[in-house]
Amino acid sequence: MALDKWGSPVSVRDAAALRGLERAIEKLNAYQADPVAEIDAVIAEHPDFAMAHAFRAGVFATAADKTFDGELRKSLAAAEALAGTANDRERGHIAAAAAWARGDFARATETWGRTAIAFPRDILAIQLAQLGDFYHGYSFMLRDRVARVLPHWTRDVPGYGFIQGMYAFGLEEAGEYGRAEAAGREAVALNPQDGWAVHAVAHVLEMTGRAGEGISWIRDTAPGWAPGSLFGYHNWWHLALFYIENGDRDAALKLFDDSVSAGGFGQALELVDGAALLWRLNLLGQDVGERWKTVVDNWRARIGHGYYAFNDLHAMMAMVAAGDDKGQAELLRTVEAAANGGGTNAMMSREVGLPACRGFAAFGRGDYVAAIDHLLPLRATAGRFGGSHAQRDIFAWTLIEAALRGGDGTLAQALIAERTAAKPASALTRAWHARARDLPASRAA
């Protein structure tokens, strides 16, 4: 049985096919263009390579976008047809993709995780499992999933830097900011092309309120990771957040134009960042002109799927901001149906997605009391529908604005106190505090 460069078994014996798979995995590790094109070239020459099809299925699964479902199922069907000649590691990947395709995201994530336990240098299984943890909002598993395999990774093993970058993000989401920053900076020093590690450090700087350092970090590291990056839009989104935190909305808006929207919003992950950035700017009174149009148009094509509640909320932001009452109503029906359906997304929609969408819709029509009633309880549970702490901070932003606009001084001051504790130097937090100072006390609970 052949082994790949990391020491994990593969069923193919052709050296060129194996090298092609390795190149595709490394491009995915770095989020560099284009792992799918790389693996498609392998499949064209070796259509009986089960792991190549399983890789492709895993990539489309973890895009978390229903519009890619056809590609996921095509690759899954090809992989399952070859399962009889696959090895145990490859069958683990096939089973994970199959679970995702039937809507059981939790089983898929755990299956990739179990595959990584059995084959601890399977860097693809580690990466896909961590992405699954991210989509679930499993803060501690983002850390622990990687920690399980660390004893098998040393500096002389190819891909060690990528593992450190993954671990850095997990440490950050688990609140271990010092260790996260150290691991992330080490990963970037080992491989400046590692945009995921750059992003892990950006999260640390975001969560600890170090916006000035965050601006420098993204700018200084960009020559390494930005060229050819499939993940660049998200790191530029982080830079935009740092600008907003420092009070420079114009710079954030320019980043939206030049970088966040550069991919044309052809996938849900880009649309999430586009909607989240424009929503934040709207909350602060920034005129964003016609920029919502492209975001809204691309979200409209996804309404009706009820695929992933985290995406649905960001679609709702776009519909609310655009004043699209019909889109909001259709989206609410979609999320209601998802909440009553099956699979992992039913729980996500029921517990977070549906009340969140209702809360954002209420905010949009100026019913700030209803917005608060829907959104405030979600501060404790929002992790159940995925994303990072920085992304879910949109709940705090919207609640603060609802309290300020609704004249609820007590709640506004309480929510602003949370941010002041974490980000005492934030110009944004100081501006909110100034607006809240003269508001009356809140209504009764």
Tens of pLDDT along 108-163? 999 999 999 999 999 999 999 999 999 999 999 999 999 999 999 999 999 999 99
> Is 205 inside any structural domain?
yes
Do 120 and 102 reside in the same domain of the chain? yes
Do 180 and 93 reside in the same domain of the chain? no
Closest to 114 measured CA to CA, from 155, 148, 142: 148
| Strand-pair partners of 32 | 229
Do 144 and 121 reside in the same domain of the chain? no
What pLDDT is stored for residue 4 in this prediction? 96
> Is 52 inside any structural domain?
yes
What's the Rg (C-alpha) of the chain? 22
Using the predicted structure, report yes or no on whether residue 231 has a pLDDT greater than 60: yes
DSSP string, 225-253: HSTTBSSHHHHHHHHHHHHHHTT-HHHHH
Do 34 and 91 reside in the same domain of the chain? yes
Name the band, by pLDDT with cuts 50, 70 and 90, for residue 66.
Answer: very high
Do 126 and 153 reside in the same domain of the chain? no
Residue 417 and residue 397 in contact, taking contact as beta carbons nearer than 8 Å: no
Q: Report, as an integer, the average pLDDT of 320-347.
A: 96
Domain stop point among 133, 161, 195: 133
Closest to 33 measured CA to CA, from 258, 218, 262, 202: 262
> Is 248 inside any structural domain?
no
Using the predicted structure, report yes or no on whether residue 315 has a pLDDT greater than 60: yes
Rounded to whole angstroms, the Cα distance separating 383 from 377 reads 12
Q: Report, as an integer, the average pLDDT of 179-198.
A: 98
Q: How many domains is the chain partitioned into structurally?
A: 2
Do 149 and 124 reside in the same domain of the chain? no
Q: Report, as an integer, the average pLDDT of 77-84.
A: 97
Do 77 and 155 reside in the same domain of the chain? no
What pLDDT is stored for residue 120 in this prediction? 98
What pLDDT is stored for residue 445 in this prediction? 47
Q: Which residue has the tokens 């420092």?
A: 246
> Is 195 inside any structural domain?
yes
Do 129 and 144 reside in the same domain of the chain? no
Tens of pLDDT along 363-415? 999 999 999 999 999 999 999 999 999 999 999 999 999 999 999 999 999 99
Q: Report, as an integer, the average pLDDT of 295-302.
A: 93
What pLDDT is stored for residue 1 in this prediction? 72
What pLDDT is stored for residue 426 in this prediction? 87
- Residue span of the structural domain in which 107 resides: 1-133
In this structure, are strands 2-3 and 9-10 parallel, antiparallel, or unpaired? antiparallel
Residue 326 and residue 296 in contact, taking contact as beta carbons nearer than 8 Å: no
Using the predicted structure, report yes or no on whether residue 443 has a pLDDT greater than 80: no
Residue 182, C-beta contacts closer than 8 angstroms, at least 6 positions apart: none
Name the band, by pLDDT with cuts 50, 70 and 90, for residue 422.
Answer: confident
> Is 376 inside any structural domain?
no
Name the band, by pLDDT with cuts 50, 70 and 90, for residue 444.
Answer: very low
Do 20 and 108 reside in the same domain of the chain? yes
Do 124 and 154 reside in the same domain of the chain? no
CATH of the domain at 33: 1.25.40
Closest to 390 measured CA to CA, from 351, 439, 423, 343: 423
- Give percent above pLDDT 70 in the chain: 99
Tens of pLDDT along 236-254? 999 999 999 999 999 999 9
Residue 395 and residue 430 in contact, taking contact as beta carbons nearer than 8 Å: no
Do 7 and 117 reside in the same domain of the chain? yes
> Is 207 inside any structural domain?
yes
> Is 241 inside any structural domain?
no
∠360-209-376 over CA atoms, to 5°? 25
Q: Report, as an integer, the average pLDDT of 54-74.
A: 97
DSSP category for residue 286: -
> Is 300 inside any structural domain?
no
Do 214 and 86 reside in the same domain of the chain? no
Q: Which helix (H) or strand (E) holds 13?
A: none
Average pLDDT over the chain reads 96
